[in-house]
Structure 1
Amino acid sequence: MLENKAASRYAKSLIDLANEQNSLEEIKNDMVLLDQVIDQSPELEAILNNPIVPLDKKAGILEQVFGAKVNAVTNIYLKLIVNKGRSAILFGTAKSFIQQYNALKGIVTAEVTSAIALTDANRAEIDALVKKEIGAKEVVIKEKVNDKLIGGFILKVGDKQFDASIASGLNKLKKEFAQGIV
């Protein structure tokens, strides 16, 4: 919990700095890269979380991995976090930065689980629905296919969920029969 708060505060500070430097988009791309690399490399995450690994070694590894690929502000930020002994929150900071950036820009993520792959028309309909209901400026649709749904879809946006799957309807009907409601 405390690490999440610290990560959130560091991310907020980095967003403020990026705005001052007029490099918000570039640093957002750097945070996406950082998030992806740490997510795909459990070894790097283990090194960053390990208090036994010397700080200069951690800084050197991050320099080798990200050095020329990221903005100068991002490089300075990574060194600062490592030198303060907070390298364990880098992953959380990157995630928090992306969330705060999305909130700032009005971008929401809609997770759609459907029985079959969505068509372009389905995506456009979901995009329009989420923009209308949530008031988002942009919608990022993440799709999953689950054939156990039989048909329909489940839409999640933030902490809200809309279940229009046939499997859900059948389960609801089954419960009603079991309770003698129907």
Structure 2
Amino acid sequence: MSNRAAIRYAKAVLEHASESNLENVIFGDMQSVYKTIQGSKELRNVLKSPVVKAEDKKAALVKIFENNSEVTKGLIEVLTANKRIDLLGNVAESFIDLYNEAKGVKVANVTTAVELTPELEELVLSKVKELTGSNQVTIQNKVDKDIIGGFILRVGDLQYDSSIANQFENIKREFSKSI
């Protein structure tokens, strides 16, 4: 989850991107940054490590994101200078959230035990559009094997938990009440 400092950096980047008419480019960069950091436990560990020098972290990030815009590289520079480079993933996540909010896009977070197939993703997308009344909906799929099966759908403040793990927990609670 994003913290307040990450949100402030994300707002500054979004404002700069808006002034430069680069919102869509930076949005793509932030999606790339977020997915890369989320997809690599090693990278997250390096960014949080007090042993790895800040300049080494910066050099690695600049190399990893060398095809990204100068604004994104500038963000890496600023975070390094402010000794906050470990926030890069959170800044990217906050930027994505702020951008979607500004564009009126509803984001549906779907947690499943396995990756969604394109057909199932389309089905979930149409259901979320129906529930929210919005035609601008995107899906973020998170795989969590601990839910065993089923899914957890979250759109804004609404959550629907149809996971097998949740159903087991409900049965366990009912069992405990009757004993």
Which TM-score tier does this pair reach, normalised by the shorter chain?
A: 0.7 to 0.9
Name the CA shift for 1:70/1:119 in 2 (closer, same or farther; >3 Å): closer
Pick from 139, 160, 167 the counterpart of residue 158 of structure 2: 160
Pick from 83, 88, 94 the counterpart of residue 90 of structure 1: 88
Name the CA shift for 1:77/1:165 in 2 (closer, same or farther; >3 Å): closer
Any stretches of 5+ residues in structure 1 without a counterpart?
Answer: none
Q: TM-score w.r.t. structure 2 length? A: 0.73
- Within the alignment, does 1:44 sit opposite 2:38 as a pair? no
Summarize the alignment of residues 27-106 of structure 1 with structure 2, pairs less than 5 Å apart.
Answer: 27-67=26-66, 69-105=67-103, 106=105
Distance (whole Å) between structure 1 residues aligned to residue 123 and residue 110 of structure 2: 14
Distance (whole Å) between structure 2 residues aligned to residue 60 and residue 73 of structure 1: 16
Name the CA shift for 1:13/1:164 in 2 (closer, same or farther; >3 Å): same
Distance (whole Å) between structure 2 residues aligned to residue 82 and residue 21 of structure 1: 23
Larger radius of gyration: 1
- Across the aligned residues of Structure 1 and Structure 2, the Cα RMSD in angstroms comes to 3.8
Distance (whole Å) between structure 2 residues aligned to residue 17 and residue 52 of structure 1: 32
Amino acid at match of 2:65: F
Match of 2:65, SS state, is helix
Q: TM-score w.r.t. structure 1 length? A: 0.72
Q: CA deviation at 1:136?
A: 3.0
Q: CA deviation at 1:87?
A: 0.6
Name the CA shift for 1:84/1:138 in 2 (closer, same or farther; >3 Å): same
Any stretches of 5+ residues in structure 2 without a counterpart?
Answer: none
